[in-house]
DNA sequence: AGCCGTTGTTGCTGCTGTCAACACGGAGTA
DNA sequence: TACTCCGTGTTGACAGCAGCAACAACGGCT
């Protein structure tokens, strides 16, 4: 039901949004290398050149997808921290949300951190990535009591921890016993974050 | 001078090794997506299908490249730890070597952690990756005094830290002030590892 | 009604991965 | 020495892809 397309309609309706929706599905099936604009077009019942009306090229679609991913990550982070008062609990919750996001949206996560930055990222997508970092920085600031730049090493180390764990999980490099069930993963993430001190 | 090819010689000499040498150069220039077997062949003055005598397909070349990367990483890690007696110093040295390796060989590092594991990795390359992990696990064991599986969370958290920092550095997501000079990066890495406790 | 910008279409070029058939040349054997 | 064989490299194909250009339908505007 993603695309409701009345019989014989020439125009699609919202091809741009449909592309951003179908692309992760293609990536999930065929891998990031296996993604092609033509395949996306095919699945949406649209001609092979139609996507170019909405994205200058394939890379542009990917950066848009990355931007969407960062927006969702920020939303998930805020959601996870919402009812927590203790800044250290909040930071930890963000970390867990980060890892959970990577596992639940592996396609987005991979795209978010694989676009070889040519500097041609749309401002709004650039901003989405910056906001995810800024949210982490503020939370770390509160959790550590550091500020004025002194919080940066703490921020970066916590980010490294969450990011590294996410990547290793996605790459299947974590021994199976720790990834068998969602609870096991959650426990692993918790014990990983326990080894961090602000 | 990578390829010394006597005048008019039909056979190349060691095309396989030459491919493993030229591929990172192509990646460095055109990015991972921009790598093509045909371009490698062109640079080696060889026909476009010649690489297929040595690699079943493009993916196979990439996994071989990843294997080579892991072998070098292990070598760099051992080298960095060689003269250190205190296990905690050794672990830290491995971490620094890990980050340094990523920055000095970004092409290898990216390939090492981007092959979407289809299970068709050659045994010797699989083993190379496992050895890098095993070296880290042993070192963590010594540094923490934990063993029998209890060292795993510590191992994985340290790996996450080193791996996450490497990836973020490679992706250009670390604020510029910390990446301006090699010394700044080294200092950042040190302060990141300082926030880890076994 | 008529105009025109947006969106989608068809058809092309040049590149790529991959395969099959063939060619070269060195190693071993008669 | 001559012959054969196998590993390695070549040529020539095919299909799929990114991206461009010229054309066509739609829909909102006057």
Token duo for residue B113? 């952690």
Comparing alpha-carbon positions, the chain A residue that sits nearest to B33 is A33
- From the list B74, B96, B73, the residue with the least C-alpha distance to B169 is B96
DSSP 8-state secondary structure symbol assigned to residue A10: S
Per-residue pLDDT for A3 more than 70? no
Per-residue pLDDT for A116 more than 80? no
Residues 6 or more apart whose Cβ sits within 8 Å of residue B187: B178
Most B-contacting residue of A30, A70, A152, A160 (CB-CB within 10 A), to test interface? A160
Compare CB distances from A164 to B163, B172, B174 and report the shortest one's residue.
Answer: B163
Q: Is residue B120 very low, low, confident or very high in pLDDT (cuts 50, 70, 90)?
A: confident
Query: Average pLDDT, stretch B93-119?
Result: 91
Per-residue pLDDT for B131 more than 60? yes
DSSP 8-state secondary structure symbol assigned to residue A191: H
Q: Find how far residue A56's CA is from the centre of its chain.
A: 22
User: Does A148 contact B at CB distance below 8 Å?
Assistant: no
Q: Which nucleotide is nearest to B55 (CA to C1')?
A: C18
Per-residue pLDDT for A119 more than 80? no
Per-residue pLDDT for A89 more than 90? yes
Query: Average pLDDT, stretch B165-175?
Result: 93
**A91-95, A121-125, B105-109, B162-166: lowest mean pLDDT where?**
A121-125
pLDDT digits (tens, 9 = 90+) for A55-76: 999 999 999 999 999 999 999 9
Most B-contacting residue of A159, A164, A172 (CB-CB within 10 A), to test interface? A164
Q: Residues A138, A156: contact at Cβ < 8 Å?
A: no
User: Does A196 contact B at CB distance below 8 Å?
Assistant: yes
Q: Which nucleotide is nearest to B46 (CA to C1')?
A: D9
Share of chain A above pLDDT 90, in %: 87
Query: Average pLDDT, stretch A164-189?
Result: 94
Alpha-carbon span A80 to A98, nearest angstrom: 10
Q: Residues B92, B193: contact at Cβ < 8 Å?
A: yes
pTM metric for this prediction: 0.92
Alpha-carbon span B85 to B142, nearest angstrom: 11
Query: Average pLDDT, stretch A165-193?
Result: 94
Q: Which nucleotides of C are covered by protein (CB under 7 A)?
A: 7-12, 15-21, 24-26
Q: Where are the alpha helices (DSSP H) in A44-86?
A: 58-81
User: Does A32 contact B at CB distance below 8 Å?
Assistant: yes
Partner-chain contact A163 B162, CB within 8 Å = no
Compare CB distances from A167 to B113, B154, B192 and report the shortest one's residue.
Answer: B113
CB pairs under 8 A between A and B: 107
Per-residue pLDDT for B20 more than 80? yes
CA distance B156 to chain A (A): 7
Question: Can you give the pLDDT at residue B6?
Answer: 42
Alpha-carbon span B77 to A26, nearest angstrom: 38
Question: Can you give the pLDDT at residue A13?
Answer: 81
Q: Please state, rounded to an integer, the average pLDDT across all residues of chain B.
A: 92
DSSP 8-state secondary structure symbol assigned to residue A155: H
User: Does B119 contact A at CB distance below 8 Å?
Assistant: no
Question: Can you give the pLDDT at residue B17?
Answer: 97
Per-residue pLDDT for A33 more than 60? yes
Q: Residues B95, B193: contact at Cβ < 8 Å?
A: yes
Alpha-carbon span A120 to A126, nearest angstrom: 9
Q: Which residue has the higher pLDDT, A172 or B15?
A: B15
**A14-28, B5-19, B113-127: lowest mean pLDDT where?**
B5-19
DSSP 8-state secondary structure symbol assigned to residue A116: -
User: Does A165 contact B at CB distance below 8 Å?
Assistant: yes
Alpha-carbon span B146 to B45, nearest angstrom: 54
Q: Is residue A12 very low, low, confident or very high in pLDDT (cuts 50, 70, 90)?
A: confident
DSSP 8-state secondary structure symbol assigned to residue A119: S
Question: Can you give the pLDDT at residue A167?
Answer: 95
DSSP for chain B? ------TT-SS-S-HHHHHHHHHHHHHHHHTTTT--HHHHHHHTT--TTGGGGT-SSHHHHHHHHHHHHHHHHHHHHHHHHTT--SHHHHHHHHHHHHHHHHHH-HHHHHHHTTS---S---HHHHHHHHHHHHHHHHHHHHHH---TTTTHHHHHHHHHHHHHHHHHHHTT-S-GGGTSSHHHHHHHHHHHHHTB--
DSSP for A19-37? HHHHHHHHHHHHTTTT--H
Question: Can you give the pLDDT at residue A162?
Answer: 98
DSSP 8-state secondary structure symbol assigned to residue A196: B
Question: Can you give the pLDDT at residue B5?
Answer: 37
- ∠ CA B74-B80-B84 to the nearest 5 degrees? 125
Question: Can you give the pLDDT at residue B121?
Answer: 87
Q: Which residue has the higher pLDDT, B144 or B121?
A: B144
Token duo for residue B73? 């990483």
């Amino acid at each position: 039901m993603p695309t409701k397309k009345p019989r014989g309609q020439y125009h699609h309706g919202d091809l741009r949004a449909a592309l951003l929706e179908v692309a992760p599905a293609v990536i999930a099936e065929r891998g990031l290398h296996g993604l092609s604009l033509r395949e996306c077009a095919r699945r949406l019942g649209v001609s092979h050149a139609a996507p170019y009306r909405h994205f200058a090229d394939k890379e542009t679609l990917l950066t848009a997808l990355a931007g969407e991913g960062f927006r969702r990550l920020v939303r998930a982070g805020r959601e996870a921290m919402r009812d927590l008062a203790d800044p250290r609990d909040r930071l930890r919750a963000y970390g867990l949300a980060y890892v959970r996001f990577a596992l639940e949206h592996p396609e987005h996560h991979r795209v978010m951190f694989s676009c070889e930055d040519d500097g041609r990222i749309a401002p709004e997508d650039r901003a989405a990535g910056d906001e995810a970092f800024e949210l982490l920085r503020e939370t770390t600031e509160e959790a550590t009591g550091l500020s004025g730049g002194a919080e940066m090493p703490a921020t970066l180390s916590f980010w490294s921890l969450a990011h590294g764990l996410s990547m290793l999980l996605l790459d299947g490099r974590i021994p199976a016993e720790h990834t068998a069930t969602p609870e096991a993963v959650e426990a692993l993430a918790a014990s990983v974050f326990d080894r961090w001190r602000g």
